[in-house]
């Protein structure tokens, strides 16, 4: 059941705080997903790929699964973006876009 909020709740503030918490959880999920992909447990369990395993077992779309894997794999190249997410300056969706771009640009490193 969904949590009822008090009538005097500042819904805008509540939403922005909730999104910031979700973004940090998505970041943790992405980091663990990349480790999971590297460990190849997904292969041992008969999945076609780590993304396929995530899609099925975590009830994700293919795009969300691939974004999580890409973010996790690119984190070491994106220290400034990672810090920006932690500080609430960007959201997880922004980080996913940056991670996908970093993957396409070979040799990319944030400076």
pLDDT for 1: 64
DSSP 41-78: HHHHTT-SSHHHHHHHHTT--HHHHHHHHHHHHHGGG-
Q: Which tens digits make up the pLDDT trace of 63-84?
A: 999 999 999 999 999 999 999 9
In this structure, is residue 15 part of a structural domain? no
What's the total number of domains in the chain?
1
In this structure, is residue 17 part of a structural domain? no
pLDDT mean across residues, the chain: 95
> How many CB atoms lie under 10 A from the CB of residue 45?
10
In this structure, is residue 82 part of a structural domain? yes
Helix, strand, coil shares, percent, the chain, to 5: 70, 0, 30
pTM (global) more than 0.95: no
In this structure, is residue 71 part of a structural domain? yes
Cβ pair 54, 60 in contact under 8 A: yes
pLDDT for 99: 96
In this structure, is residue 111 part of a structural domain? no
Residue numbers of the domain that contains 57: 22-104
């Amino acid at each position: 059941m969904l949590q009822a909020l008090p009538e005097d709740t500042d819904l805008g503030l509540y939403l922005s705080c909730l999104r910031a918490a979700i973004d940090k959880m998505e970041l943790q999920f992405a980091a663990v997903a990349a480790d999971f992909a590297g460990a190849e447990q997904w292969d041992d369990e008969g999945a076609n790929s780590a993304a396929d395993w995530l899609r099925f077992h975590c009830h994700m779309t293919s795009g969300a699964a691939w974004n999580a894997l890409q973010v996790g794999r690119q984190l070491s190249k994106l220290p400034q973006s990672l810090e920006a997410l932690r500080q609430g300056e960007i959201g997880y969706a922004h980080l996913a876009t940056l991670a996908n771009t970093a993957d396409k640009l070979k040799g990319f490193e944030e400076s």
